[in-house]
Amino acid sequence: MARLHVMERSQAQVVMDGLHEAVGKRLAVSSLAPCPVEFTAAFVGMCAIQSCGKCTPCRVGLGVLKELMEDVLAGRGDEHTLELIERTARTIYLSSDCAIGYEAGEMALTAIRGFRDDFEYHIAHKACGFVQSQRVPCVSGCPAGVDIPGYIALVEAGRNTDAVRLIRKDNPLPLVCGLVCEHPCEMYCRRGMVDDPMNIRGIKRFATDHMESDYTPSHADPTGKRVAVIGGGPAGLSAAYYLALMGHKPTIFEARRKLGGMLRYGIPAYRLPRERLDSEIQWLVDQGIKVHLDTPVTDLESLRRDYDAVYIAIGAHSDNKLGLEGEDAEGVISAVQMLRSIGDDELPDFTGKRVCVVGGGNVAMDCARSAVRCGAEKVTIVYRRRVADMTAQDEEIVGAKEEGCELLELHAPLRIATDDNRVSGLVVQPQIIGGPKWGRPAPRNAQADEVCVPCERVIVAIGQKIDSDAFAAQGVVTNRGKIVTDSLGSIEGFEGVFSGGDCQTGPATVIRAINAGKVAAANIDHYLGFDHRIEANVEIPDVQFKGKVSCARCELKFREAVERKDDFDEIEDGFTSEEAVQEASRCLRCDHFGFGAFRGGRFTQW
Amino acid sequence: MVTVTIDGREIRVPERTTILDAAHEAGIEIPTLCYLKDVNEIGACRVCVVEVEGIDQLVASCNNCALDGMVVHTDTPKVRQARKVNTELLLSQHDSECTSCVRSGNCSLQSFANDLGLVGLPYEKHLPDIEWDQNFPLIRNNDKCINCLRCIQICDRVQDCHVWDLANRAAHTSVNVIGGLPIDSVACALCGQCITHCPTGALRERDDTDRVWEALEDPDITTIVQIAPSVRTAWGDHWGMSNKEATVERLVACLRPMGFDYIINTDFSADLTIMEEGTELLERLKEGPHDHPMFTSCCPGWVRYVKSHYPELVDDVSTSKSPQQMFGAIIKSYYAEKLGVDPHKIFSISIMPCVAKKSECALPTMNDACGDPDVDVVLTVREVDRMIRSEHIDPRRLEDEPFDEPLGEGTGAGIIFGATGGVMEAALRTASFLVTGSAPETDVFKDVRGLDGWKEATYNLAGTPLRVAVVSGLANAGRLCEAILAGSVSYDFVEVMACPGGCVGGGGQPIHDGQERQRLLGDVLYGLDRVAKYRNSYENPAITTVYAEYLGEPLSKRAEELLHTNQHAWIMPGEE
């Protein structure tokens, strides 16, 4: 008999691995739908099957916990059941021998505490009190509720203009979103259970790139009502566009030289080419939006007197400071300041300069990659956590790396070294990663000496703030800079004044700002005494059941790094027709199949 | 047009035709359970699945279109197995005690399972055993529910009442009152459309037949039963009788041997309603313009709906009681006097195509004649049919018998109360007479007939334009109320019937799964109206007599006391 064996995978193990992968894929498709109690019961049940069976709390406890939760779900539970569930879960956590048990116990406890209302509702009403809002997964995942299966079907049918018309029912900036949307919808895409989620952004981009013709949306009869919109970013533009369609007269007051807000002053041109941004903004303005550029608004009251309603959408254009020694030295630039200059076509010249970018978010990546394009000799992204903990999208981090940026992870800035009040380096303290704090692994100082990264420029990209002081001084209630509104977006004490977007929620995404503008348009319309509805009147092609056909996801391609890193031209290539149609044909049409068939897969108007 | 091949038969159908409909065109019937045309096309039960060449998985035929060149097989081993297993799965959660089920013999699940030739079940049975208030006029038994979700859709989409919802999820999914609330705490109109669209016995009316049997057996009690107009359109369905055979007089012949002492005709009190409500309308018009129209009040489902959904419009609902309740009040006052019977010893029964009437007769306000309830028990047509069957009476072997006089007389106007637009037309005929003093031309008001959910017309009433609207189905009623409140429409008089098509489509009528018979049944009523001896309520000699002998004139003090009600005197959920 051999003393050792080479590990061989049995057929059963191969199948098991396949199932493991399938479980992972299923769970990766975030679902807004399941009942929290069902979910917890199933989670506990899955943990139970991993128990080796040696120890009491894990072997017996997890099974018992599952049964108790089953009692709750079957309407057999009472308040003692809940108490017993909690006591059992705590004991599994406290007394299990290994992680299989105590992790299961802890997660169960977290769930029971987090979902307490749901458990109690089940016990009191023998019914689930969790509102089932998810009809179509991607649509539920899109903050603006864009009719995604609808426009994908239109792209598949070769009707790109109709696809854009349908998108614009809920999102007036499809071109922008086709290029830069964070596509939260894809996280919910059910196709992920089959192979990969749909490339929804890629399809949207294809539609806007390949419109067969332009069109003019229909406008309601003029109402004579005038609405002032402060800020020409995505929220302000969206609100103004829908208000114009509703027959009102919106006027945008923009503090800077051009419209676009963070689309122009935050997102570099290599991701969002200026001529494309300009064309989309111009199209919106042409629908009946009056614009005053270079016009910061300070006096809210007088504006309110001149207009029937006001919408404040000033975004978050101020920046956070590091608060370190040397921060006011020459050569320290804030991310907002740098990207704003680039937005106004004033490119900084970093030729021959070494640049350190502090931060790990998308803005840090934008700054680093822009610095490369501004001629920097070396760009180092300095981050106090690990690369894995960065909040920037993976694609942005990879892009930065490809373009030659160094990633200096686990180094916390200590001070900015200066020479004659000019930056000469960034002094950093090596870190070691530790346990979680506020949901993310927290670093602490490593037992290592501080290091100086020699550089001539330091770009600080550690978050934005809202510059709402002028409004606060006039009595608008703010909370850490954020403008406080009620659920309709109206500001207390200022009748007919609304606010939304980054300045109300804090810095968020383009699509969230767009939705804020859409919501504001509806609520302002209602405030003005109207009930205008926005619809697209686009007929969606017939649904065809295709059965299960595996086909992986088409990804968008990029220009080669060596070629793209020297200019601000667009880096991403859109789909070919072949790719777009294949990708669109992968859509599972959850508007028709599954729960969408029952509750309706489509809102044709809002 | 597209060409498809189904079971080897090539057929051309218009685009967007479902596989199910295309197969039907080709003479091939595909079984369905959850499917309800235009209302519930959701592919949930998966018994209508078919094989489409080129696709491994089966396709639901009820909500997928036949596409050009598609080759479909409806009866392959794969299809047969899927149908069988899915049916067995449904049955594993279904209480199959068919012998004690009101839907036995008229149950889609039962007949489908029988057709499949099932001989035993491979799965263990698990019944949800959910509690229900057995005193409520509507009974849900989830042990028989197959989660077809039709009741949710009918209630949401057609009736705008939102009573039902998925009360749990995943393997525990069940349909129940929204949020798991008690049924009497939500705004159920009791239209009963969920019952008549349920494929099984999961939904039914509260069975009140025992109370009637007890009264019939009690020698001290005089039983008086009234029969609503729509009953005559459908009561004989169980025996396969045509409308010509199953006359209301034949129903009278069935009831007499069962021991009912007096059998009278609700057509009479429909005429009485017209006299009161018509006069009320004319009085109101004299007051000058109102913001809102006057609404009819004879449909208790509508009254429940408007109270819970649009309480601000309740003041505009006519104070006239429904024909059932007017008759109840007359029975225990005038009729009791005439018969020389102590009204407390009268047991008043009504046979209705309606479930809401069961709650209406039990309202605290409906006891104006002698203090006892004016109507003691309401039976749906289905309950009466069950009583006839339990007596082993075969209506096909009986001869027609007349109603008991003097309250057996009705007019064509009373008969058409059962069809949408009928109350309006009846009211217009009499209002026209009351205003002009001469009989209206025959069928001059027939524009308000038909199955459109929202009809409108304007009539010249002695020089004054009268703008009227007729809606049936509560979602239509809701749209109309919204439009009235928004000021986008304006009428003088509006008839509302909760059930689509009016009482002939009532929630208490015999059930024909998958069929909408309102047109057919409405036509029966209009046919009877056409040949009626009297066609206008004011011509009814019994009406003339009751006013002369007892009530005086419409809206007299006694008429107000007996025949009108305060719509605010009881509260619906959502009303406050």
Contact A545 B168 (CB under 8 A): no
Contact B56 A548 (CB under 8 A): yes
Contact A127 B180 (CB under 8 A): yes
The answer to whether residue A1 scores a pLDDT higher than 80 is no
Per-residue pLDDT at A592: 93
Which of chain A's residues have a Cβ under 8 Å away from the Cβ of B176?
A: 127
Contact A126 B63 (CB under 8 A): no
Per-residue pLDDT at A482: 95
Contact A598 B167 (CB under 8 A): no
Q: Summarize the confidence of residues A436-456 as an average pLDDT.
A: 93
Phi (first) and psi of residue B132, to 5 degrees: -150, 145
Phi (first) and psi of residue B181, to 5 degrees: -75, 160
Which of chain A's residues have a Cβ under 8 Å away from the Cβ of B179?
A: 125, 127, 129
Nearest CA in chain A to B58: A547
Which of chain A's residues have a Cβ under 8 Å away from the Cβ of B44?
A: 597-598
The answer to whether residue B439 scores a pLDDT higher than 70 is yes
> What letter represents residue B555's amino acid?
L
Phi (first) and psi of residue A371, to 5 degrees: -60, -40
CA distance A256 to A253: 9
pLDDT (tens digit per residue) in B4-38: 999 999 999 999 999 999 999 999 999 999 999 99
Which of the residues B58, B71, B129, B172 would you substitute to probe the A interface, choosing the one with the greatest number of A C-beta atoms within 10 Å? B172
Contact B43 A545 (CB under 8 A): no
Contact A545 B55 (CB under 8 A): yes
The answer to whether residue B277 scores a pLDDT higher than 70 is yes
Tokens of A244: 């114009």
Nearest CA in chain A to B34: A598
> What letter represents residue B419's amino acid?
A
For residue B79, give every residue at least 6 positions away whose Cβ sits within 8 Å of its Cβ, in sequence order, or none.
Answer: B49, B50, B51, B58, B73
The answer to whether residue B216 scores a pLDDT higher than 70 is yes
- Percent of chain A's residues with pLDDT above 70: 100
Contact B64 A543 (CB under 8 A): yes
Check: CB of residue A424 under 8 Å from CB of residue A438: no
Q: Summarize the confidence of residues B72-95 as an average pLDDT.
A: 96
CA distance B544 to B537: 10
- Percent of chain B's residues with pLDDT above 70: 100
A&B contacts, CB < 8 Å: 73
Q: Which residue has the tokens 């027709």?
A: A577
User: How distant is the Cα of B451 from the closest Cα of chain A, in angstroms?
Assistant: 25
Contact B167 A127 (CB under 8 A): yes
**For the CA atoms of A529, A530, A531, A533, what is the dihedral angle to 10 degrees?**
-150
User: How distant is the Cα of B539 from the closest Cα of chain A, in angstroms?
Assistant: 49
Q: Which residue has the tokens 């069961």?
A: B358
> What letter represents residue B264's amino acid?
I
Q: Summarize the confidence of residues A496-513 as an average pLDDT.
A: 95
Per-residue pLDDT at B496: 98
The answer to whether residue B359 scores a pLDDT higher than 90 is yes
CA distance B4 to B13: 8
Per-residue pLDDT at A468: 93
Contact A542 B55 (CB under 8 A): no
Which of chain B's residues have a Cβ under 8 Å away from the Cβ of A593?
A: 43
Least CB-CB distance to B179: which of A34, A35, A127? A127
Tokens of B282: 């004319």
Q: Summarize the confidence of residues A443-469 as an average pLDDT.
A: 95
Contact B169 A128 (CB under 8 A): yes
Instruction: Spell out the alpha helix ranges (H) of A29-147.
Output: 36-49, 56, 62-73, 79-95, 99-114, 116-125, 137-141
Which of chain B's residues have a Cβ under 8 Å away from the Cβ of A592?
A: 63
pLDDT bucket at B93, cuts 50 / 70 / 90: very high
pTM exceeds 0.95 for this model: no
pLDDT (tens digit per residue) in A239-253: 999 999 999 999 999
Task: Count the neighbouring beta carbons within 10 Å of the beta carbon of residue B442.
Answer: 10
Q: Summarize the confidence of residues A451-476 as an average pLDDT.
A: 94
CA-based max dimension of chain A: 95
Per-residue pLDDT at A135: 87
- Percent of chain B's residues with pLDDT above 90: 94
The string over A181-196, giving b where at least 16 C-beta atoms fall within 10 Å of a residue's C-beta and e elsewhere, is bbbbbbbbbbbbebeb
pLDDT (tens digit per residue) in A395-404: 999 999 999 9
Which of chain A's residues have a Cβ under 8 Å away from the Cβ of B64?
A: 543-545
Least CB-CB distance to A598: which of B16, B42, B52? B42
User: How distant is the Cα of B109 from the closest Cα of chain A, in angstroms?
Assistant: 21
**Alpha carbon of residue A523 to chain centroid:** 24
Which of chain A's residues have a Cβ under 8 Å away from the Cβ of B170?
A: 34-35, 38
CA distance A420 to A437: 39
Per-residue pLDDT at B457: 96
User: How distant is the Cα of A496 from the closest Cα of chain B, in angstroms?
Assistant: 22
Long-range contacts of A53-58 (CB under 8 A, 24+ apart): A54/A97, A55/A96, A55/A97, A55/A98, A55/A101, A56/A95, A57/A91, A57/A92, A57/A95, A57/A96, A57/A101, A57/A105, A58/A92, A58/A96, A58/A97, A58/A98, A58/A100, A58/A101, A58/A104
The answer to whether residue A32 scores a pLDDT higher than 70 is no
Chain A residues within 8 angstroms (CB to CB) of chain B: 33-35, 38, 73-75, 121, 124-130, 132, 542-548, 592-593, 597-598
**For the CA atoms of B100, B101, B104, B108, what is the dihedral angle to 10 degrees?**
-150
Least CB-CB distance to A545: which of B41, B64, B171? B64
Tokens of A561: 């790094």
Phi (first) and psi of residue A459, to 5 degrees: -110, 125
3-state helix, strand, coil in chain B (%, to 5): 40, 15, 45
CA distance A509 to A502: 8
The answer to whether residue A133 scores a pLDDT higher than 80 is no
Which of chain A's residues have a Cβ under 8 Å away from the Cβ of B36?
A: none
CA-based max dimension of chain B: 79
Which of chain B's residues have a Cβ under 8 Å away from the Cβ of A548?
A: 56-57
Which of chain A's residues have a Cβ under 8 Å away from the Cβ of B59?
A: 545, 547
Least CB-CB distance to A547: which of B56, B169, B172? B56
For residue A336, give every residue at least 6 positions away whose Cβ sits within 8 Å of its Cβ, in sequence order, or none.
Answer: A265, A266, A317, A318, A319, A464
CA distance B350 to B378: 5
Nearest CA in chain B to A131: B179
Which of chain B's residues have a Cβ under 8 Å away from the Cβ of A126?
A: 130, 167, 180
User: How distant is the Cα of B180 from the closest Cα of chain A, in angstroms?
Assistant: 5
**Alpha carbon of residue A212 to chain centroid:** 30
Which of chain B's residues have a Cβ under 8 Å away from the Cβ of A73?
A: 168, 172
CA distance B492 to B281: 9
